Amino acid sequence: MTEPNAISVVVRKALEDYFTRLDGEKASGVYSMVLKSVERPMLEIVMEKTNGKQTLAAEILGINRNTLRRKLSDYDLL
């Protein structure tokens, strides 16, 4: 059972609202939109919680440090 405040519940609600607001218009690029919407704040918070320590942040995120640096660069977070 999913907790009411779980991230997946929040994402699900946001997507339901998104499709409702489309009001019959065709959706496109939803996958990329969701990833970008989630990825930036995730990176910001993890970097904040690790005091900018990229090696630790990469470990917490479960990604390679070089991948983390690329993503931080992509979002102008370096």
Domain range for 19 is: 7-74
pLDDT given for residue 51 in this prediction = 98
Count of domains for the chain: 1
* Each residue's pLDDT tens digit, 50-77: 999 999 999 999 999 999 999 999 999 9
Domain membership flag for residue 11: yes
Task: Identify the sign of the CA torsion 77, 27, 10, 67.
Answer: negative
Residue 58: count of CB within 10 angstroms of its CB: 19
Distance of CA 2 to the CA centre of its chain: 19
Q: 5: pLDDT confidence band, cut at 50, 70 and 90? A: confident
CATH at residue 52 = 1.10.10.60
Question: Is 17:30 a contact under the CB 8 Å cutoff?
Answer: no
Domain membership flag for residue 50: yes
Helix, strand or coil for residue 60? helix
* Each residue's pLDDT tens digit, 9-46: 999 999 999 999 998 899 999 999 999 999 999 999 99
